[in-house]
């Protein structure tokens, strides 16, 4: 029996419908942008028509692409699946999430069960293989071969051996933790707290949350204070326009549960600025906010503003656009060490001028970056268990349970090697600064050095 033609009752040809839908989903275009592009090609339709086609045919086109991709993948001898399972809570009850991911990192299938046993595993495998076929290899351990993991580090800009990275990061971790313990009693005295351990002090500071409707005002004040300090102490040259910021939508907050910088387009930019996206509370299934308490309290606003806005990510992209850095350098010199290293370095530049509680949280974020730089390679080289890594993040770095899970997924599943780029990039910049200062002596100019680094765009710091 032949299947009915899905385009039968439509006046437009299937090719035009497919073009409109694929333009909308493949590129960052609005419905009106698609309408304008089609108009340039002599096709007169409304943007509401594009919306209707997208809702009607989008799932069908996605299924076709998925089927073709699976057929192509089956022809490769290296087609393998990575299988894992983890604990999740659904309406407060423990369930088990099973996932199958192919060798390119695409999630093929996910499956939630109430039990974790042979029957549930077989049910998941049968369902997945029925839809996607049988892979050549099943991988149930997230660890990569040492050579492959070392290559993953090189791709993000880390050009030293994983063992050397672990050694350096551990030294930084223990030194930062000791400094935090020295600073914590001063914070406790300021807020009249009856605790002195840095872990307990941070947990008390996290209770001083900022309501969603006050986020923009609070962060605007923090950025204004930071810019004043930058000018007073001659740290770096600032643009003559303010930072652009806004609250995240609920969907954006659910997709990326942390404040972040949305970079501007480097190609074809017609005056767009990057945006500092502030995180709003994300409601869970029970109507309560999700268990992230790492970015919503008052003491974190200084270091987040310095890292994501100025003099961090936002200033780097603003400088690139203002100075006219070449597209080749802007687009192809990118790696995580270049970008993340500057943001962590910039946040460290502002630590001496922050309040005492802001300094403690800045050190906590530095502690997290050091922890990432040795936990990521240790997990992937089999030198530490997932449970022990989670214990360090929860107990020593004082992250929420939700943030711990997100971090462990990042090291073992989403982007192995990438998390270490913050620590290594900042270390390289500090090494370059020390070498420059020793070479120039009294002629060293902090502002000129920082301006020079920014003027290079995203070139590696060496």
Q: Give the Cα separation of 269 and 121 in Å (integer).
A: 50
Q: What is the mean pLDDT of residues 251-277?
A: 83
Report whether 445 contacts 453 (CB < 8 A).
no
Report whether 113 contacts 127 (CB < 8 A).
no
* pLDDT score of 285: 46
Would the pLDDT of 286 be above 90? no
* pLDDT score of 302: 94
Could you tell me where the beta strands, DSSP code E, fall in 242-346?
245-247, 260-262, 275-278
**Residue predicted with more confidence, 116 or 455:** 455
DSSP string covering 129-142? HHHH---SEEE---
Q: What is the mean pLDDT of residues 30-56?
A: 90
Q: What are the residue ranges spanned by the domains of the chain?
A: 14-73, 80-140, 154-455
Confidence of residue 291 (pLDDT cuts 50, 70, 90): low
**pTM for the whole structure:** 0.72
Question: 44-53, 107-116, 295-304: which has the minimum mean pLDDT?
Answer: 107-116
* pLDDT score of 83: 81
Distances 103 to 57, 77, 125, 377, 378 between C-alpha atoms, Å: 28, 11, 17, 20, 21
**Residue predicted with more confidence, 90 or 352:** 352
Beta carbons within 8 Å of 208's beta carbon, 6+ residues apart: 297, 298, 299
Confidence of residue 370 (pLDDT cuts 50, 70, 90): very high
* pLDDT score of 409: 85
Report whether 109 contacts 131 (CB < 8 A).
yes
Question: 45-54, 283-292, 317-326: which has the minimum mean pLDDT?
Answer: 283-292
Would the pLDDT of 348 be above 90? yes
| Sign of the C-alpha dihedral computed for residues 449, 451, 453 and 456 taken in this order | negative
* pLDDT score of 77: 52
Q: Give the Cα separation of 309 and 244 in Å (integer).
A: 9
Would the pLDDT of 419 be above 90? yes
| Percent of residues in the chain assigned helix, strand, coil, to nearest 5 | 60, 10, 30
Q: Give the Cα separation of 423 and 420 in Å (integer).
A: 6
Question: 55-69, 74-88, 315-329, 426-440: which has the minimum mean pLDDT?
Answer: 74-88
Confidence of residue 290 (pLDDT cuts 50, 70, 90): low
Report whether 261 contacts 314 (CB < 8 A).
yes
Q: What is the mean pLDDT of residues 158-185?
A: 96
Q: What is the mean pLDDT of residues 137-148?
A: 77
Share of the chain above pLDDT 70, in %: 94
Would the pLDDT of 334 be above 80? no
- Give the pLDDT confidence of 376-395 residue by residue, as tens digits: 999 999 899 888 999 999 99
Distances 393 to 97, 173, 235, 302, 341 between C-alpha atoms, Å: 22, 12, 32, 22, 21
Q: Give the Cα separation of 150 and 377 in Å (integer).
A: 9
Would the pLDDT of 288 be above 70? no
Q: What is the mean pLDDT of the chain?
A: 87
- Give the pLDDT confidence of 213-237 residue by residue, as tens digits: 899 999 999 999 999 999 999 999 9
Q: What is the mean pLDDT of residues 205-212?
A: 91
């Amino acid at each position: 029996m032949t299947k009915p033609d899905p385009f039968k009752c439509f006046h437009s040809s299937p090719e035009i419908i497919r073009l409109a839908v694929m333009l909308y989903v493949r590129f960052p275009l609005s419905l009106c942008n698609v309408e304008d592009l089609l108009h340039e090609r002599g096709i007169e339709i409304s943007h509401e028509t594009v919306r209707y086609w997208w809702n009607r045919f989008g799932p069908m086109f996605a299924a076709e692409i998925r089927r073709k991709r699976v057929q192509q993948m089956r022809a490769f001898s290296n087609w393998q699946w990575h299988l894992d399972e983890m604990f999740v809570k659904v309406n407060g009850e423990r369930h088990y999430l099973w996932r199958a991911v192919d060798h390119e990192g695409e999630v093929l299938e996910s499956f939630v069960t109430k039990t974790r046993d042979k029957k549930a595993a077989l049910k998941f495998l049968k369902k997945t293989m029925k839809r996607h076929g049988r892979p050549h290899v099943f991988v149930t351990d997230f660890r990569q071969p040492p050579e492959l993991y070392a290559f993953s580090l090189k791709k993000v800009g880390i050009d030293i051996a994983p063992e050397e990275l672990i050694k350096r990061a551990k030294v930084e971790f223990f030194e930062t933790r000791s400094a935090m313990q020295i600073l914590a009693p001063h914070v406790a005295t300021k807020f009249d707290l009856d605790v002195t351990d840095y872990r307990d002090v941070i947990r008390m500071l996290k209770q001083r949350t900022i309501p969603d409707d006050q986020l923009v005002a609070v962060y605007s004040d923090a950025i204004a204070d930071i810019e004043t300090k930058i000018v007073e102490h001659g740290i770096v040259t600032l643009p003559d326009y303010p930072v652009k910021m806004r609250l995240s939508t609920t969907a954006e907050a659910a997709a990326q549960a942390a404040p972040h910088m949305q970079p501007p387009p480097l190609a074809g930019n017609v005056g767009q600025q990057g945006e500092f996206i502030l995180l709003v509370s994300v409601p869970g299934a029970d109507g309560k906010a999700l268990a992230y308490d790492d970015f919503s309290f008052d003491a974190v606003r200084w270091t987040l503003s310095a890292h994501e806005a100025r003099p961090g990510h936002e200033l780097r992209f603003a400088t690139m656009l203002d100075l006219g850095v070449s597209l080749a350098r802007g687009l192809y010199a990118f790696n995580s060490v270049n970008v993340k290293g500057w943001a962590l370095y910039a946040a460290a530049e502002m630590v001496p001028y922050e309040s005492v509680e802001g300094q403690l949280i800045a050190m906590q974020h530095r502690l997290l970056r050091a922890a990432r730089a040795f936990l990521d390679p240790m997990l992937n080289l089999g030198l530490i268990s997932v449970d022990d890594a989670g214990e360090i993040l929860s107990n020593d770095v004082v992250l929420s349970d939700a943030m711990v899970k997100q971090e462990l997924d990042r090291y073992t599943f989403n982007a192995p090697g990438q998390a270490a780029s913050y620590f290594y990039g900042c270390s390289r910049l500090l090494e370059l600064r020390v070498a420059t200062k020793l070479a120039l002596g009294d002629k060293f100019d902090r502002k000129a050095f920082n301006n020079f680094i920014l003027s290079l765009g995203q070139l590696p710091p060496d």
